[in-house]
Amino acid sequence: MTGMDDLGAPEAGASAAAAVGDSLPEDLDFNAATLGPYQFPDVTRRRIAGWLYLGIAAVCFATGVASSNQGLIGGGIALVAIAAYQFACAFPLVIDQTQALAVASKEVGFPAGHASGQVTWRGLRSKPLWRVVLYSSEEPPQQRGIVELDAVSGEVVFSTNEPNPEDWSKFAHQ
């Protein structure tokens, strides 16, 4: 018995705690005022994995040579190749999410209202890029656009905008 009916409302006689619902423990509760704005983790963290792969490769080589085990030596070579790829893909994020939004707003040519950004990757070396979707600031938005921005150099890779084809009339304030 949960103290709630099928629609989530408290059942008759349910306790006040059940009416409030579940909540996160304090140590897991995100408070932006205390922690500050979210920062996307830097992709250069791949270097940590690269160093770990190199360390394990050294152990494989040493053990393989000491025991004449060709499999361990081959595994060490494979781990060195994986480590090299990790180092090659560890691009620093020079452009953060705030800068990406500012560049995207200038690129589309209208004042941005709602916007959303995400980091994506392109190419064999997984070079990071910001993909920002923007809507104009009018209610309802009259324009929308998308901008792809190289997160390392700040260069705009792709940009387009158009009149907003979505029907927002059912959301109009009355």
pLDDT in the model for residue 54: 96
Q: Is residue 9 part of a domain?
A: no
What's the pLDDT score for residue 51?
Answer: 95
Which residues of the chain fall below pLDDT 50? 1-4, 8, 14, 17-18
What is the predicted pLDDT for the residue at 1? 46
Indicate whether 161 and 108 sit together in one domain: yes
At which of 61, 88, 115 does a domain end?
A: 88
Domain count, the chain: 2
Q: Is residue 13 part of a domain?
A: no
Q: What is the pLDDT of residue 53?
A: 96
Q: Is residue 15 part of a domain?
A: no
pLDDT of residue 143: 86
- Asked whether residue 140 is assigned to any structural domain, the reply reads yes
Task: State whether 119 and 153 are in the same domain.
Answer: yes
Domain end point (choices 55, 88, 121): 88
Full 3-state SS string of the chain: CCCECCCCCECCCCCHHHHHCCCCCHHHCCCHHHHCCCCCCCHHHHHHHHHHHHHHHHHHHHHHHHHCCHHHHHHHHHHHHHHHHHHHCCCCCCCCHHHHHHHHHHHHCCCEEEEEEEEEEECCCCEEEEEEEEEECCCCCCEEEEEEEECCCCCEEEEEEEECCCCCHHHCCC
| pTM (2 d.p.) | 0.61
Domain coverage including residue 123: 97-171
